[in-house]
Amino acid sequence: MATYQESYTEKINRRLAVKQRVINVAAGREKADLVLKNSTFVNVFSNELCQGDIAIAQGIFVGIADRYEGEQELDMSGKIVLPGFIDAHIHLESAVVSPKEFVRAVLPHGTTTVITDPHEIANVMGNDGIEYMIQATQGLPLDVLFMLPSCVPATPMDESGAVLDYQAIDHFYSHPRVLGLAEMMNYVGIVAGDSEAVKKIAAAQAHHKKIDGHAPGLSGKELNAYVATGVYSDHECYTLEDALNKLRLGQFIMIREGTAAKNLDALYPLLSTQYQERCMFATDDKHPSDLLEQGHIDYIIKRAIGLGVDPIIAVKAASHYAARYFLLNNKGAIAPGYLADFVVIDNFQDFHVELVAKEGKICYDGVVKPFASPKIDPVLAARALDTFHLPQLTAEDLRDDRPLGVIGLVPGEIVSENKGYAQAIDIEKDILKIAVVERHKNTGHIGLGYITGYGLKSGAVATSFSHDSHNIIVVGTNEKDMAAAVNQVVENRGGIVVLRDGAVVSQLALPIGGIMTDEDVATVNQKLEAAKEAVFQLGGSRGIDPFMTLSFMSLPVIPTLRLTTRGVIDVETQQYI
């Protein structure tokens, strides 16, 4: 008892010292650590631009007034100060670079917090994957918070590297960076009352945690049933009607603008005085090229403003509303007592990020400031590099003369269309073969089908980045090249391969779990863009992202048709066709 009391007393005394300094700086009796002089800033509470000197001490905003003094002072005349941006839903693994490289890419765009769902690597490595990501994001100059994967695998009809029930992930809820249960993709199971799926929601609620949703197009009584279980949000709305249906039932809407799925054009009318408080921004999946060439959350804000959205509403959707939703009560505002995560831009029209700070420390001012790499348990690091367990394929393994379902791609979306059946490759009609090869447990399972809209005229494209189980997905104009592309992916321990006539045209190795690499983001982007161009040169459609879009064709929770290791599935009926 005495030991506990001494430890508690020491903790209170440490906090007392911090509070006393905060009080003295706020009252003007001591100099602040940093003062943003002559600031114009977005006040998220009064919905206006306000002016004043912004004083920062102990990593928080302590006061806004005239003539604060600081050990460091920056003149903000002619600039606008905003709260740090928050990505409400992202899979860091989808950037295909390690978390530290992701941070280097997004800091220049004003992102100071991301809420990530590590279900990509969890589908490969199970709980070890979650632990890997927690360790790989510790101490970075950007807060990485977690929602625990709800669907590993996405549905029982899929095959992944692990199966995680509610008990398997339960201990992670005690981690201070875990906020809740990530997107419940198995909405079919929830609506049907599947006990294993519903138990995951019940467990999250037992821990008083948030629960995110994923139910594209769900409506009527089925949507009522889904929401009634306690699913609070949705990021899969691709029509305004779908979003309003969910918002009217109390769900929060994450307006997604990522690499494969771009929903801002359809959903920006929600960013109005009537609906704004139920909205936030998310990217879900974002490839290096978009991060480097377009941006991150700053890109969504800029586009929203260009569509006519009030700049203050856009900024609030990028910060304040996400913070409120996730109960991050000290984030998302420039006000006394809030963490000093802030962004400085030139103006709302050009929206160039000039400076970014995390808890009062400048981490970008034209260049990203150096930071230490997180330490990862060597056993976990070694396991992440050994995730492929399957034999070499031959062309015969990919042949099937029966009629198979045809998946129709939709440009700019990750939904697909049912295009009937085909019995053979027909390049002139853009009917290509597609296969998903199980790679985790050497089951020998290979799902076969056909796809249209990809456009390839010769060769094959294979990748081990295929949502969400991350088996190997391959599309091609002939089975021989398809088998060779799969074998090369395995030899590289993961990644992307573009191949023609048995020769590799372009490739990107992703040896960490078969879905990430430690290479720097610029180098990865160069290789990735070269691989995309190689696909286009082989006839691939420029209306789609050849890898991101392909990676979603194996996710059996997004309408209409998908391909698993066991064949083409109708998502809406959860039946093989």
Which residues, in sequence order, are bridge partners of residue 535? none
Distance CA 53, CA 102 (A): 32
Distance CA 299, CA 310 (A): 15
- For residues 74 and 90, state if they share a domain: no
CATH code at position 52: 2.30.40.10
- For residues 65 and 96, state if they share a domain: no
- 242-265 pLDDT, tens per residue? 999 999 999 999 999 998 789 999
Strand arrangement, sheet containing 279-282: 233-234, 252-256, 279-282
* Residue in this structure with the two tokens 């006040």, named with its chain if needed: 43
Average pLDDT of span 414-428: 95
- For residues 43 and 118, state if they share a domain: no
> Contact 314/345 with Cβ under 8 angstroms?
no
Residue 508 domain flag: yes
> Is 472 strand, coil or helix?
strand
- Nearest C-alpha neighbor of 271 from the set 320, 234, 225, 308: 308
Instruction: Tell me which of 62, 78, 94 is where a domain ends.
Output: 78
Residue 516 — pLDDT band, cuts 50, 70, 90? very high
Mean pLDDT, the chain, rounded, equals 96
Say how many domains are in the chain: 3
Whether the upstream peptide bond of residue 113 has omega within 30° of 0, thus cis, is no
> Contact 554/451 with Cβ under 8 angstroms?
no
* Residue in this structure with the two tokens 């970008």, named with its chain if needed: 364
DSSP assignment letter at 231:
-
Task: Please state, in angstroms and as integers, the Cα–Cα distance from residue 184 to each residue in 148, 548, 553, following that order.
Answer: 10, 21, 18
Residue 372 domain flag: no
Average pLDDT of span 431-454: 98
> Contact 56/62 with Cβ under 8 angstroms?
yes
Distance CA 86, CA 174 (A): 22
> Contact 562/401 with Cβ under 8 angstroms?
no
Residue 30 domain flag: yes
- For residues 70 and 103, state if they share a domain: no
Instruction: State how beta strands 210-213 and 178-184 pair.
Output: parallel
- For residues 196 and 295, state if they share a domain: yes
- 90-116 pLDDT, tens per residue? 999 999 999 999 999 999 999 999 999
DSSP H helical ranges for 126-274: 127-136, 166-169, 187-192, 195-206, 220-228, 240-248, 264-267
Residue 273 domain flag: yes
- For residues 13 and 111, state if they share a domain: no
Average pLDDT of span 455-460: 98
- For residues 390 and 516, state if they share a domain: yes
Average pLDDT of span 81-88: 98
Residue 572 — pLDDT band, cuts 50, 70, 90? confident
- For residues 420 and 552, state if they share a domain: yes
Average pLDDT of span 210-217: 95
pLDDT score for 8: 87
Distance CA 417, CA 455 (A): 16
Q: pLDDT exceeding 90 applies to what percent of the chain?
A: 92
Residue 366 domain flag: no
Amino acid found at 147: M
* Residue in this structure with the two tokens 């009064």, named with its chain if needed: 46
- For residues 283 and 212, state if they share a domain: yes
Cα dihedral across residues 214, 218, 219, 224: positive or negative? negative
Instruction: Tell me which of 24, 44, 78 is where a domain ends.
Output: 78
Residue 1 has pLDDT above 70, yes or no: no
Average pLDDT of span 4-28: 90
| Burial class (CB within 10 angstroms; exposed 0-12, middle 13-18, buried 19+) of 527 | buried
Backbone angles phi, psi at 55, to 5 degrees: -95, 135
Residue 69 domain flag: yes
Task: Please state, in angstroms and as integers, the Cα–Cα distance from residue 162 to each residue in 126, 131, 159, 350, following that order.
Answer: 5, 14, 8, 46
- For residues 54 and 113, state if they share a domain: no
Average pLDDT of span 467-479: 96
- For residues 268 and 416, state if they share a domain: no
308 is written with which tokens? Answer: 């006519």
Residue 415 — pLDDT band, cuts 50, 70, 90? confident
- Which range marks the domain in which residue 66 is found? 2-78
Task: Please state, in angstroms and as integers, the Cα–Cα distance from residue 54 to each residue in 24, 315, 323, 361, 363, following that order.
Answer: 15, 18, 21, 14, 18
pLDDT score for 4: 57
- 146-183 pLDDT, tens per residue? 999 999 998 888 999 999 999 999 999 999 999 999 99
DSSP per-residue string spanning 34-66: EEEEEEEEEETTTTEEEEEEEEEETTEEEEEES
Average pLDDT of span 128-142: 98
CATH code at position 341: 3.20.20.140
Instruction: Tell me which of 48, 78, 108 is where a domain ends.
Output: 78
409 is written with which tokens? Answer: 């791609």
Residue 573 has pLDDT above 60, yes or no: yes
> Contact 185/216 with Cβ under 8 angstroms?
no
Q: Within its chain, how far is the Cα of 272 from the centroid?
A: 25
| Burial class (CB within 10 angstroms; exposed 0-12, middle 13-18, buried 19+) of 40 | middle
Task: Please state, in angstroms and as integers, the Cα–Cα distance from residue 207 to each residue in 185, 204, 372, following that order.
Answer: 20, 5, 33
pLDDT score for 2: 45
201 is written with which tokens? Answer: 């929601």
Which positions ≥6 away from 413 have C-beta within 8 Å? 238, 260, 261, 262
For residues 181-219, one letter each, b for 16 or more C-beta atoms within 10 angstroms of the residue's C-beta and e for the rest, the string is bbbbbbbbbbbeeeeebbebbebbeeeebbbbbbbbbbe
Residue 380 domain flag: no
- Indicate the range of 103-107, 252-256, 286-290, 463-467 predicted with least confidence: 286-290
Amino acid found at 198: V
Residue 357 domain flag: no
CA angle centred on 347, ends 324 and 273, rounded to 5°: 40
Average pLDDT of span 543-557: 90
- Indicate the range of 3-17, 397-411, 497-511 predicted with least confidence: 3-17
Average pLDDT of span 465-483: 97
- For residues 19 and 93, state if they share a domain: no
> Is 374 strand, coil or helix?
coil
pLDDT score for 5: 62
Distance CA 98, CA 409 (A): 29
